[in-house]
A and B are shown apart, each in its own frame.
Chain A
């Protein structure tokens, strides 16, 4: 139970009803729907959708495979570019990626091909009797991967495929990273992250060690000595702070902490319910938090953002989901003061109205208060600096707080690679993390094989 919310009541609905609010937000396609949708694909050449997919899946090819009743071929095509193609099909914001670029999303056309749902259809219906990829002969090289999130897992799979031996060091009890602990429950249902993990590990040659935290019981210097290459896929483990007094008061917490609890809960009826709540932020995490609380039965969910709707990081699609779940979107207001009751617990928040003046965000001087049983911060994830405090780790070049990498995902330390949310490159998306992991593994492999040849 989340310590800071123990004073709150539980959801009113029974377990089965609650669970029904957290089934697939976008239900899967059946065979007929998949056929119909696949037939809409124009099989473009140099397809814009592929260009817009961070993991470079050959979309026209896999869709043509679906359409010609070769679902396994479709799935293998997807997985060969993106081993987490199943979760990406579910969590990718396709409206700003492949489907945004689809030529059928043109004003001359009706609507984009539903690439994400077709991808899910292929993966879910492939039913491989054995792992579809075979490991190359062992190279004898050993690779350390820190973090078993999408970046680390993709790196491990690709490295194992090339015949290297991989050890993953993961701080938490379960692997999967935010697929396991962070993604909105209704996007990734039914323990999918663990099923996908099992599938991925079938390649062989990957050992996962849990309870191994870099900066705690593990140092980069050791790893660098003991392994031929190291990959850092640490994600962004810390949540950003408001910088206001009473930030530790009961009732105020990071949205990601609550979501983690929600995703791990076997019994949703035991979760704390904030009937009136405030979510601070403007990204997809903020929307996820607000919508999930609404689905648990909260009657008064306010998402507050200091700028306008157009500036929000959350896509239109996400904003629509929020609206459909009766989440109120309040804009041009920034936190001013956490309001506490006599027992020192959150009772609401005072906001200062804002406006833009010459591109600068300024308070108008006007304030208002919102009553709330809990406040969830979703104002961004930050780097957990404890992870990188050993002498070698401190040498890593950084861009802001993130680890600097070049296009090949190489850090400033030879033999050390990094990818996913913890690096300076690309967007913070599952699919981007997968691509980083995959590309880093390719870069490591090329480098390691060079030294093999030279030897």
Chain B
């Protein structure tokens, strides 16, 4: 059996599945249940200075798929609404009871040195394994000069990170906000400030939907609404890209990354690890299904690792990073053509109409004697965009087959058609 245990930024955990700082890690009761269920670690719900934050009622809304499956959740909750003292007491006790699990404390206090200087020793005294700086909360806290307001200013990120490294001896993980143009700028700032790791992503500014009767966005508080933070499987592609951007940035080379955003299965987790993560955090999936999901995540990951011969996470962590590059370095001569497996095809015609109306008119619809249609790729017209494969409801029915066109590797920087090509 593969060894799922990790040491991430100096923090040990029996497995890489941690619960992200959020309602699932709000208090001892939840965290103990999570540990009982088998989670490798938790990032405690973000602590702040007293008086504790106050939340509104009616806090979440969702973006649904065709069958009411939740694609993403939007929330307008703030950091912990319980007093600092109670949280610290519970953290101390839980860590004592669960010494083998990673227990990281998330923090968000005003962007002044004195605030950090006073809270850090209190946190360190709990015996926790590390701290995570919440620079990401996109709602409520920025108005108070915290969260995303800090995360969006590289100088602040660097400064606060440095204060933390100065006033506490624990590993410092900087949690990044995705509400920014180039995630690397924030990661570099954290790196310069001495961060032991970054974690990302926090939630994305969002409005999920509008109640058309009441003419107000969701979630509705009284008669009003406000934007919230988006998370869940819909944000995974955004998170993966941001992780990859940092992983392949030479300026933050070697900086450990904890992946967050839309992770709900072992495969999601493995993808984040392949793009350079050493651990992952989960929030929405646990909120939708409960803590038990970690069972299948651990089982699935270790079986997959066994099948691949990966003894531990390091064996494949970052393995997909080298294959992620800038567009201009892609092989412009590489060519794929769609191929339909007629035995698997159920004849829905989606590939045809997608290509016909919006792509390259490369799938012919041939009317048969019995009134049904046969769909055939016109090889010469297919540009290999993958659209038909994407819209086909039958997985594996359309294969994108690489064509040996005899042309050598050529990237855009070398292509004669590029007016700005680099001289050879």
Interface residues of A (CB under 8 A from B): 35-36, 39, 42-48, 51-52, 67, 101, 103-104, 106, 108-109
Tell yes or no: B373 within 8 A of A by CB: yes
- Knowing A39-B66, A67-B66 are in contact, say whether A44-B394 is a contact too (CB < 8 A): no
Residues of A within 8 A of B346 (CB): 103-104, 106, 108-109
Secondary structure type dominating chain B contacts:
loop
C-alpha gap A39/B64 in the complex (Å) = 12
Residues of A within 8 A of B66 (CB): 39, 67
Residues of A within 8 A of B383 (CB): none
Q: Return B296 CB to nearest CB of chain A, in Å.
A: 23
How many B residues, CB 8 Å from partner? Answer: 17
- Knowing A36-B67, A39-B66, A67-B66 are in contact, say whether A48-B347 is a contact too (CB < 8 A): yes
C-alpha gap A103/B373 in the complex (Å) = 12
Residues of B within 8 A of A106 (CB): 346-347
Contact across chains for B348 and A103 when beta carbons are under 8 A apart = yes
Contact across chains for A43 and B350 when beta carbons are under 8 A apart = yes
Contact across chains for B353 and A108 when beta carbons are under 8 A apart = no
Tell yes or no: B10 within 8 A of A by CB: no
Residues of B within 8 A of A42 (CB): 348, 350, 393
A interface footprint on B352-392 (CB within 8 Å = 1, 0 otherwise): 11000000000001000001110000000000000000000
Contact across chains for B372 and A48 when beta carbons are under 8 A apart = yes
Chain A residue at minimal CB-CB distance from B343: A108
Chain B residue at minimal CB-CB distance from A51: B371
Extra 13 A-B pairs, beta carbons < 8 Å, given A45-B350, A51-B372: A35-B67, A35-B68, A42-B350, A44-B349, A45-B352, A46-B365, A47-B348, A48-B372, A52-B371, A67-B66, A101-B372, A103-B347, A106-B347
A-B contact list, 8 entries, CB within 8 Å: A35-B68, A42-B348, A42-B393, A45-B352, A46-B373, A48-B372, A48-B373, A106-B347
Tell yes or no: B344 within 8 A of A by CB: yes
Residues of B within 8 A of A52 (CB): 371
Contact across chains for A108 and B394 when beta carbons are under 8 A apart = yes
Contact across chains for A44 and B350 when beta carbons are under 8 A apart = yes
Contact across chains for A46 and B394 when beta carbons are under 8 A apart = no
Q: Return B233 CB to nearest CB of chain A, in Å.
A: 17
Q: Return B314 CB to nearest CB of chain A, in Å.
A: 40
- List residues 72-128 of chain B with CB under 8 A from any CB of chain A: none
C-alpha gap A52/B350 in the complex (Å) = 18
Contact across chains for A46 and B67 when beta carbons are under 8 A apart = no
Chain B residue at minimal CB-CB distance from A105: B346
Residues of A within 8 A of B68 (CB): 35
Contact across chains for A46 and B344 when beta carbons are under 8 A apart = no
C-alpha gap A292/B347 in the complex (Å) = 39
Q: Return A42 CB to nearest CB of chain B, in Å.
A: 5
Q: Which of B66, B346, B365 has the most CB of A within 10 A?
A: B346
C-alpha gap A52/B346 in the complex (Å) = 15
- Knowing A51-B371, A51-B372 are in contact, say whether A45-B349 is a contact too (CB < 8 A): yes
Contact across chains for B344 and A45 when beta carbons are under 8 A apart = no
C-alpha gap A288/B207 in the complex (Å) = 55
Q: Return A346 CB to nearest CB of chain B, in Å.
A: 46
C-alpha gap A316/B35 in the complex (Å) = 54
Residues of B within 8 A of A35 (CB): 67-68
Chain A residue at minimal CB-CB distance from B396: A108
C-alpha gap A42/B352 in the complex (Å) = 14
C-alpha gap A39/B68 in the complex (Å) = 9
C-alpha gap A48/B372 in the complex (Å) = 6
Q: Return A25 CB to nearest CB of chain B, in Å.
A: 27
C-alpha gap A39/B67 in the complex (Å) = 6
Q: Return A232 CB to nearest CB of chain B, in Å.
A: 28
C-alpha gap A267/B373 in the complex (Å) = 51
Residues of A within 8 A of B372 (CB): 48, 51, 101
Contact across chains for B349 and A47 when beta carbons are under 8 A apart = yes
Residues of A within 8 A of B347 (CB): 44, 48, 103, 106
Residues of B within 8 A of A39 (CB): 66-67
Q: Return A60 CB to nearest CB of chain B, in Å.
A: 9
C-alpha gap A43/B353 in the complex (Å) = 11
C-alpha gap A108/B343 in the complex (Å) = 9
Contact across chains for B348 and A44 when beta carbons are under 8 A apart = yes
Residues of B within 8 A of A46 (CB): 349, 352-353, 365, 373
Residues of B within 8 A of A36 (CB): 67
A interface footprint on B39-82 (CB within 8 Å = 1, 0 otherwise): 00000000000000000000000000011100000000000000
Residues of A within 8 A of B344 (CB): 108
C-alpha gap A178/B396 in the complex (Å) = 48
Residues of A within 8 A of B373 (CB): 46, 48
- List residues 331-347 of chain B with CB under 8 A from any CB of chain A: 344, 346-347
Residues of A within 8 A of B348 (CB): 42, 44-45, 47, 103
Q: Which of B68, B348, B350, B394 has the most CB of A within 10 A?
A: B348
Contact across chains for A45 and B67 when beta carbons are under 8 A apart = no
C-alpha gap A105/B393 in the complex (Å) = 14
Q: Which of A35, A46, A51, A67 has the most CB of B within 10 A?
A: A46
Residues of B within 8 A of A103 (CB): 346-348
Chain A residue at minimal CB-CB distance from B354: A45
C-alpha gap A103/B347 in the complex (Å) = 6
Query: What 8 pairs across the A-B complex have the smallest Cβ distances?
Result: A45-B349, A45-B353, A103-B346, A44-B348, A106-B346, A39-B67, A51-B371, A39-B66
A interface footprint on B190-226 (CB within 8 Å = 1, 0 otherwise): 0000000000000000000000000000000000000
Q: Return A142 CB to nearest CB of chain B, in Å.
A: 37
